[in-house]
Amino acid sequence: MASSTCTAPPPTVRGVHHFEIIGYRLIKGLSPGEYVRSGAFVVGGYRWSVRFYPGGFSPPHRAHVSAFLKITTNSARAWARFDLRLLDRATGLSRSVHRAAAPVVFDYSAAHKKCKGKRGARAFMPRAELEASPYLRGDRLTIECVVDVVVAAGEAVAPPPRRLRAPPPDLSKHLGDLLDQQDLADIAFHVGGEVFRAHKVVLATRSPVFMAELYGGMKEKGMERIAIDDVQPLVFGALIRFVYTDVLVLPGDLEGDDYKEMVRHLLEAADRYGVERLKLVCESILCRSLDGNTVETTLALADQHYCKALKDVCVQFMSLGL
C-alpha cells in the first residue's frame, strides 16, 4: 500500500526593512571588518539590524562587499528565513542576492552571539559589480531585507517593545526641503552664470564667514545679491547643500581624477567659508584616495589650507615610496 505525507510549513511572521545608505563613496574605503548598520527594526517580537561591510567581512573578502542580518534582542533565540536584496530605486524592483530558503537559527546568547547571532554572505557581491550596477545610483544604495520569523504552533507573537523611541533626526531633511523650495530665500549668489538662492539666517548659522558677510561689519546695506567669481558653480552648489543638510552630495558621474579634483576644490571652498565639518569630510576622502600621481598636489593643498591630518598622511605616503 502506497502512502505519502504532506507537511505544512511552519507559521511565520514577515517583516520588510529598507536600509538606505547615502554617500556610498564616503564608506567604500572602510577596511575589511568595518561595517555600517541599519536602525533596529522589529519582526516577530525580536529586534534585528542589517550590517553592511563595504570593504568585505575580512581580508580574504576585500574584493567583495558583505552583508548580514543580525538579531539584537539580548539572550534571544529565534528561527527565521531571510532574504537580502538590492533595490533599484529607479524601477522600484529588487533583486535577491542572498537568501536562506529554510529557517536558520539566530542565537544571541552569550555562548553563540559571535557565530550564530548574525547570518548572511561574506561574498555578498563583487565590489566592482555592485559599483557598475543600477542598484548604486546617485551615490545611494538600498538593501531590502525580508525576514520570516517562525512562530511555534499556539505561540503568540511577542509585541514590539513598548518603550517609546525618538524618531531619527529629520532637521537636515527639512532644511534640504527648504533649500529646494526656496520659498523664503532672501539672498542670491551669482556663480559662473548660475544663480543659487538661499536663506541668510541658515548660512550665517553654519558659517562664520557668511555671518560676517551677511550680518556683520562686512555687510552691505540692502545686499541681496552676491557675485562670486573664483568658485565653480558645481563646487558652490555642493557647499550650499552641505551647509543645509550636513551631507556631501556630488554628481554620480564623477569618476577617478575628476572626482578627486572636485573634492580638492570643495576643500578649498570649505576652508574659505569656515565650514569645518565639510573640510574634514574632504580631508578624509583625499586621505583614502592618495596615489603616486596626486600625492604632491595633495600635500601642497594640505599645507596651504592647514589640514594637518591630510598633510601627515601625504608625508607618510611619500616616505614609504608608495
- pLDDT tens digits for 216-250? 866 655 567 899 988 999 999 999 999 999 988 88
pLDDT tops 90 at residue 159: no
CATH number for region 177-319 = 3.30.710.10
Model pLDDT, residue 146 = 94
Separation between Cα atoms, residue 285 and residue 266, nearest integer Å: 11
More confident residue, 90 or 299: 299
Q: What percent of the chain has pLDDT over 70?
A: 88
Mean pLDDT of the 56-68 span: 94
Report the CATH architecture of 12-150: Sandwich (2.60)
Tally of CB atoms within 10 A around 4: 4
> What global pTM score does this model have?
0.51
List every span in the chain annotated with CATH 2.60.210.10: 12-150
Q: What is the pLDDT of residue 156?
A: 46
Note the pLDDT of residue 8. 55
- Yes or no: say if 235 and 266 are a contact pair by the CB < 8 Å rule: yes
Q: What pairing do the DSSP bridges indicate for beta strands 187-191 and 225-228?
A: parallel
- Locus of grid cell 552583508: 67
**Residue 274 pLDDT exceeds 60:** yes
Asked if pLDDT for residue 68 goes beyond 90, the answer is: yes
For the chain, the average pLDDT equals: 86
Could you give the residue range(s) of every CATH 3.30.710.10 domain in the chain? 177-319
B/e letters for 110-139, b = 16+ CB within 10 Å, e = fewer, are: eeebeebbbbbbbebbebeebbeeebbeeb
Alpha carbons 58 and 31: distance in angstroms, whole number: 8
